[in-house]
């Protein structure tokens, strides 16, 4: 499935009913590929906001534009979107796709400049305002891959999608208490991991 052309994306002209995205995602999970095509215009602006949030943290010259990030993430998302139960879950899947795109671009930049392999960074509750260069992003990605899968999803939803605890809980099908507990554990582990250069 090709990503939508910005000039061809037809945005809804009237208000979107709260359950529209959920109903279309249910139809997509049931095998209706056209339903997924109808979901994308409804969430396109959300995906662009998500992309702008990610790129606002990028330190140095920007190497990818929000529209490009949305489209590259959409290519990754198209195969997984039918798994989404609702808008929050779709945004969590999109956050993972954008993380993959940004990490791919960071690897390309590192390969091009052949810079150092380690940059110290810290994960905190103020993480949404943190700036990461390509090395910091790669260090974070390596650390995320070592986390428990649900803790990794919590960090992705929080760091990459900017979702709050309630939205993350809804997307992952857990309680907000579980989300907070996973965030505290993941943050502590990541800060220990990122606080020391890797020996590998």
The rounded percent of the chain whose pLDDT value lies above 70 is 72
**Is residue 10 domain-resident?**
no
Compute the distance between CA of residue 171 and CA of residue 78 in angstroms, rounded to an integer.
18
> Is 0.75 surpassed by the pTM of this model?
no
pLDDT in the model for residue 190: 83
pLDDT beyond 50 at 106: yes
73 contact partners, CB below 8 Å, separation of at least 6? 47, 51, 94, 97, 98, 100, 101
Counted residue by residue, the chain has a size of: 200
Overall average pLDDT of the 23-35 stretch: 87
**Is residue 4 domain-resident?**
no
pLDDT in the model for residue 107: 81
Compute the distance between CA of residue 164 and CA of residue 152 in angstroms, rounded to an integer.
15
Compute the distance between CA of residue 9 and CA of residue 200 in angstroms, rounded to an integer.
45
106 contact partners, CB below 8 Å, separation of at least 6? 134, 135, 137, 138, 141
126 contact partners, CB below 8 Å, separation of at least 6? none
Overall average pLDDT of the 48-52 stretch: 86
**Is residue 164 domain-resident?**
yes
Do 50 and 91 contact (CB within 8 A), yes or no?
yes
Say how many domains are in the chain.
Answer: 1
Higher pLDDT, 9 or 150: 150
Model pLDDT for residues 180-197, shown as the tens digit of each residue: 999 999 988 888 877 754
**Is residue 1 domain-resident?**
no
Q: What is the DSSP letter of 16?
A: P
Q: Which of 36-40, 41-45, 55-59 has the highest mean pLDDT?
A: 41-45
**Is residue 170 domain-resident?**
yes
Q: Which of 10-14, 17-21, 59-63, 99-103 has the highest mean pLDDT?
A: 99-103
What is the band of 82 on the pLDDT scale with cuts at 50, 70, 90? low
**Mind giving me the DSSP string for 123-191?**
--TTGGG--B-HHHHHHHHHHHTTS-HHHHHHHIIIIIS---HHHHHHHHTS-HHHHHHHHHHHHHHHH
What is the band of 59 on the pLDDT scale with cuts at 50, 70, 90? low
Domain limits at 148?
20-194
pLDDT beyond 90 at 109: no
Do 70 and 117 contact (CB within 8 A), yes or no?
no
Chain-centre distance for alpha carbon 40: 16
pLDDT in the model for residue 162: 76
**Is residue 158 domain-resident?**
yes
């Amino acid at each position: 499935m090709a990503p939508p052309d910005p000039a061809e994306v037809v945005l809804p002209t009237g208000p979107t009913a709260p359950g529209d995205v959920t109903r279309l995602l249910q139809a997509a999970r049931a095998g209706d590929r056209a339903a997924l095509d109808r979901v994308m215009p409804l969430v396109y602006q959300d995906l662009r906001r998500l992309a702008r949030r990610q790129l606002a943290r990028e330190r140095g010259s920007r190497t990818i534009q929000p529209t490009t990030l949305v489209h590259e993430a959409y290519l990754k998302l198209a195969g997984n979107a039918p798994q989404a139960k609702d808008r929050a879950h779709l945004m969590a899947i999109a956050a993972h796709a954008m993380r993959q795109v940004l990490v791919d671009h960071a690897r390309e930049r590192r390969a091009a400049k052949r810079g150092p392999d380690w940059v110290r960074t810290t994960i905190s509750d103020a993480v949404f305002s943190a700036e990461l260069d390509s090395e910091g992003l790669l260090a974070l990605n390596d650390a995320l891959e070592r986390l428990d899968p649900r803790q990794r999803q919590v960090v992705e939803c929080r760091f990459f999608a900017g979702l709050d605890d309630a939205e993350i809980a809804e997307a992952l099908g857990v309680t907000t208490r579980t989300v907070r507990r996973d965030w505290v554990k993941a943050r502590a582990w990541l800060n220990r991991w990122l606080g020391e250069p890797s020996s590998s």
